[in-house]
Amino acid sequence: MDIVSTQQKQKMHPHKFTMWVAIGSIIMMFAGLTSAYIVKSNQTNWITVELPKAFWVSTAVILISSLTLQMALRSFKQREMSKYRLLIGITFILGAAFVVFQWFGFQELWAQQITFKGAGAGQFLYVIFGLHAIHVIGGIVTLLIMFIKTFVGKTKLYSSVPIEVAAVYWHFVDLLWIYLLIFFLIIGK
């Protein structure tokens, strides 16, 4: 009996496994896009772009949101539900703020006449950062659902798997943003 329970504890939860498969596919997508950027940047008529200041603010916001989500996970595991509700709500607000600052950054690019037309980094910035923002919006929707469930959930399950999966995803999109920012700072020049 102990052998069976030990083997079951060593298995990865199916939701966690699915999340890692999804993360792997997202990594491949962004690796392909950043590789295409490198190839295209060698064109003679290539125009570089300076990153908007709003992207720096959004970086601070998403880093703080990862911290608040990690604190929410710890609060959930310690059964401090009021603290968990507060922290998951703050993380949701910070996630929405990240998307808003991204929008401001896109508006700044557009005001500088950096559009989809012509050769240059602008095309890639809109596609790559836009795809990242869509992934963040997916995380925001998840956070909103988790927040609502803390108030209206009839069954009080204390499985930490959903919040763990959400935290892994959120930290991933955080790290992905840092990668993209560094990529465009180093390679984009």
The answer to whether the beta carbons of residues 174 and 65 sit under 8 Å apart is yes
Q: What is the CATH number of the domain that holds 158?
A: 1.20.120.80
pLDDT above 90 covers what percent of the chain?
Answer: 38
In a domain, 112, yes or no: yes
Secondary structure of 82-136 in HEC code, one letter for each residue: HHHHHHHHHHHHHHHHHHHHHHHHHHHHHHCCCCCCCCCHHHHHHHHHHHHHHHH
In a domain, 7, yes or no: no
**21-50: average pLDDT:** 82
Domain span holding position 112: 52-186
- Give the pLDDT band (50/70/90) at residue 6: low
pLDDT tens, position by position, 55-90: 999 999 999 999 999 999 999 989 888 999 999 999
Measured CA to CA, the distance from residue 173 to residue 74 in angstroms comes to: 20
Q: What is the pTM of this model?
A: 0.82
